[in-house]
Every structure is written in structure tokens, then in C-alpha cells.
Amino acid sequence: MMGGVLDTRSRPLRDLRISVTDRCNFRCTYCMPRETFGRDFAFLPRAELLTFEEITRLARAFAREGVSKVRLTGGEPLLRRGLEQLVGMLAGIGGITDLALTTNGSALAAKAAALRAAGLNRVSVSLDALDDHTFAAMNDVGFPVGRVLAGIEAARAAGLVPVKVNMVVKRGVNDHRIVEMADHFRGTGHILRLIEYMDVGTTNGWRMDDVVPAAEMLAAINARWPLEPIDPSYAGEVATRYRYRDGGGEVGIIASVTRPFCGACTRARLSADGKLYTCLFAAQGHDLRALLRGGASDEDLQARIRALWGQRADRYSELRHAGTRPRPKIEMSYIGG
């Protein structure tokens, strides 16, 4: 029987985001800026990463406590060798009804078919512009847009649909590309999601002046193609959904800064080395790997998960919105977006 643990604000545990690596081949300025994550940066040693068997065991424990949606993240998850094997293992867990992946798309063209065959349901692809100049200003490694688009097409062909295309919008860098992105993905069946630039971690130099508010992004698209709001796909969905009135498809807006959605957050995050974080903006995690490698039973794991979620009181975005002083936060590349 599936669990129904609630936190201190009566939010259920329903979603688990699993980081499978802290490494990435991009150096996006809003996530892994080169100034911090340079050539001499010390990533996690392989022995400290959870094995696929350990990840599966934890995912099974989370499923028994109510998790039904699992998303694999990083770093860049497709850098983890043999990821389709893990997908197959997770797809076999009872209670998990939605298994997804977030990727920068750099290796997706080669991997999409195998991931789908292993049991992956959906994929989200990060893409911040359609022209190489602007995209390079965001990913900072000169990776070409065309290869990401090829990955999106491969995902569609494999049946990993709808593909969600995540665009982090930063003022003065790629905000002038919003309408172009909307135009490109209209009518394709893919869903463009515009994301407010967030103060994740402590190294991306975040300033409120760099944030393009959701209302401004929405107005830019609505002026060209009228939009209307639609209901969430599920309780706790972070994107506010809109559809084109002319039938051109759907757009989502993720507005963590100007419209905090902490009150409906049902997400737990598991880092690549087995720490549980109960918020994207958490300052510290809780070590589940030590339990795994210390001989804990499945019941012990569930009890620990239940206890940690039961004491959860996170509402960082609401506090930031209210003007509360910022505090230290773990880097997003360590726990996934």
C-alpha cells in the first residue's frame, strides 16, 4: 500500500528528482559558471556516487511513501554511462507511473531510442535560444543549437512526447529571443516553458535586475499570438499553462521568483551522492547513502524518508518574495533543477 506522508504544511510527497551525476559538459552561466566550475574543480569521485542498485532501492522506498513521479537529472544525466540500464530498473518499480529525464540535449540524438525502449516516458530539454551566438552566451562552451534540435527530434521520433523545451530567460542576454522560440515550437507538439532566472546556489551572480518577470514574458507572446490559461495537468505542477487561441499548442511559465508556488510543492531531491534535499534552495541535505551502505533495512529507509518529509517546512521562494534576507544554498548542478 502506498504511503501518504505530509510535511508541516500538509504537502504530500509525490515527486522525486534524482541527480545521477554532478558533472556537465556545458557551463551555463545560471547554473555552472566557468569561474567556479573550471578545469580544476573537484567533482565527486565515482565511489561516492550512488550505484544504480542503490538508486533503485531508494526510489522503491520513496514510491512506498507516495512518490509516483520520478525525474532523472544532473549535472547532465546522459554523461552517466549506461543510464538506460537505470531507466529500466526504475521503470519496473510499482507505483511509479511517470519516469522522465531532464537533459541539455547534447547526447539525446544518440540515446533517445534506447531510453524509450528501456521505459522512459518523457524528456525535458534545456534550450535557451535558437541562434548559436545567443545560445553560446548561455552555455559558454560553444555548443551548436542544431545538435540540441536534433536531439529534440530524436526524442519525438522515439515517442518521448510531449517534449518540454525549457528556456531560462535572463534580461539582456536572451530575452529578445522569446517570441522567436515561441514561433519555432508552435504547432510542433512540443511545449515551450519559459523559466524566470532564479537565485539557485551562490555562484551565478543572481540579481533581481536580471529577472524577466513571467507577466512580461507572457505579454510578449500574447501580443503576437493570443493566449488563454488552462488548468494544471496535475496537483503541484510548477508551470502555469497557457494555450494559443488559434490551436498552435501550449506554453508554460515557471515563475519561482515573481509568483512563488511553495504552497503546492511536492518535490524531494536526491543528489548523486545520496543526500536528500527537501527544497531546490536548501542549504544542506540528509545523508541516505550512509544508511544504504550501513546495512539499513527497507523499513529503516522508509522510516527515515517519512521522518524527514514530515518535518519539512521549506518555503524559500515565498520568503525571498517577501524580502527575507538570502541564505547559503546548495548549487543546482549538485541536486538537479
pLDDT digits (tens, 9 = 90+) for 289-308: 999 999 999 999 999 999 99
pLDDT tens-digit readout, 58-79: 999 999 999 999 999 999 999 9
Say what the pLDDT of residue 221 is: 98
Residue 236 and residue 234: Cα distance in Å, rounded?
6
Q: Say which CATH number the domain at 135 has.
A: 3.20.20.70
Domain that holds residue 60: 15-335
Residue 267, in any domain of the structure: yes
User: C-alpha distances in angstroms, 276 versus 58, 96, 228, 268, 311?
Assistant: 10, 19, 37, 7, 13
Say what the pLDDT of residue 1 is: 40
Q: Which residues of the chain have pLDDT under 50?
A: 1
Say what the pLDDT of residue 337 is: 59
Number of domains in the chain: 1
Residue 114, in any domain of the structure: yes
Residue 2, in any domain of the structure: no
Residue 303, in any domain of the structure: yes
3-state helix, strand, coil in the chain (%, to 5): 35, 20, 50
Residue holding cell 539582456? 172
Residue 6, in any domain of the structure: no
Of 29, 27, 26, 25, give the one whose Cα is nearest residue 206: 29
Say what the pLDDT of residue 161 is: 96
Element (H, E) at 334: helix 332-335
Q: Left if phi > 0, otherwise alpha if psi is -120 to 50, otherwise beta: which for 30?
A: alpha
| C-alpha triplet 90, 91, 92: angle, nearest 5° | 90
Of 73, 63, 59, 77, give the one whose Cα is nearest residue 17: 73
Residue 3, in any domain of the structure: no
Residue 4, in any domain of the structure: no
Say what the pLDDT of residue 327 is: 58
Residue 107, in any domain of the structure: yes
